[in-house]
Amino acid sequence: MRRKFIAGNWKLNNNRRQTTDLIEKITAQSRDAKNVDVCVAPVFTSLQSAREAIGSSPIILAAQNVFYEEKGAFTGEIAPSMLVDAGCSAVIIGHSERRQYFGETNETVNKKILASLKVGLTAVVCVGETLEERETGKTNDVIHAQLSGAFKDVPSLEKIIVAYEPVWAIGTGRNATSQQAQDVHAFIRDLARKKYGKGAEELRVIYGGSVKSSNAADLLARPDVDGALVGGASLIAEEFCAIIRLSS
């Protein structure tokens, strides 16, 4: 039985005080949740405040991005070991907004995964098709290409979580149906099985794209949906914690 993983991607929101406030609310409201991993991903400058606010609670701290080199002349970048130093144990890699606006490719995603695994971070690897790709029947091909690129030279699925996030469902209020999500999640697990064998059964494949408390139960009930990557709704403690409770 795979333990559910519910992550809040806060994107470009929340200064340090807002981060602390939101984490305090999430901690208080998710105290009774069992058998679920809860993760939050604030902006870089709020990571340390987030770490302090999390304290001894089991909330997992993630960054929203990372660079693949450890040091050097790479102005504006953050190394994997620096995320560990700031108290992170996970990192989101390859979010569609990074692919769309910041030139992230399957190759850079792969380098970031390898560098993150090296320092013990859990990599939450995002994949997903655009609306045009879905409508022209290319969803599986796109996911296949993204995952083959991402997993090049990755020795095992330990410390890997895959987030299936159809681009057309992110921030649009239009979520995939639970059947659409299940179909792609099963396809992802199948690809993982071909490359990693039994390890694929432990792999958590989480869904992202306009998840909220009103649609989460249906999505989370599907056999291959092992949690959610939540954007907008994760900024509201009550909403996020309602999704956590549905998973526990």
Residues lying near ligand PEP in the complex (CB under 6 A) are found at 9, 11, 165, 170-171, 208-211, 229-233
Minimum distance from residue 146 beta carbon to ligand PEP (Å): 15
Q: Considering beta carbons, is residue 79 or 246 the nearer one to ligand PEP? A: 246
Q: Considering beta carbons, is residue 208 or 227 the nearer one to ligand PEP? A: 208
Question: CA 126, CA 167: separation in Å to the nearest integer?
Answer: 10
Query: Which among 97, 129, 165, 239 is annotated as catalytic?
Result: 165
Give all strands (DSSP E) within the chain, no chain letters.
4-9, 36-41, 60-63, 90-93, 122-127, 160-164, 204-208, 227-230
Q: Considering beta carbons, is residue 147 or 176 the nearer one to ligand PEP? A: 176
Closest CA to 130 of 111, 143, 117, 120: 143
Taking every pair of Cα atoms in the chain, the longest distance, rounded to a whole number of angstroms, is 48
**Residue appearing with tokens 């992550």:** 7
Q: Considering beta carbons, is residue 63 or 79 the nearer one to ligand PEP? A: 63
Minimum distance from residue 70 beta carbon to ligand PEP (Å): 27
Closest CA to 193 of 145, 151, 137: 151
Minimum distance from residue 148 beta carbon to ligand PEP (Å): 22
Active site residue 95: yes
Cβ atoms of residues 73 and 95 within 8 Å: no
Active site residue 144: no
Minimum distance from residue 85 beta carbon to ligand PEP (Å): 25
Minimum distance from residue 229 beta carbon to ligand PEP (Å): 5
CA dist 80 → 71, 171, 226 (Å): 10, 27, 26
Q: Considering beta carbons, is residue 79 or 170 the nearer one to ligand PEP? A: 170
Q: Which residue is nearest to ligand PEP (CB)?
A: 231
Q: Considering beta carbons, is residue 81 or 130 the nearer one to ligand PEP? A: 130
Identify the three-state secondary structure at position 61.
strand
- Dihedral sign, Cα of residue 138, residue 143, residue 149, residue 155: negative
Cβ atoms of residues 187 and 153 within 8 Å: no
Minimum distance from residue 205 beta carbon to ligand PEP (Å): 14
Identify the three-state secondary structure at position 225.
coil
Distance of CA 166 to the CA centre of its chain: 13
| Catalytic residue list | 95, 165
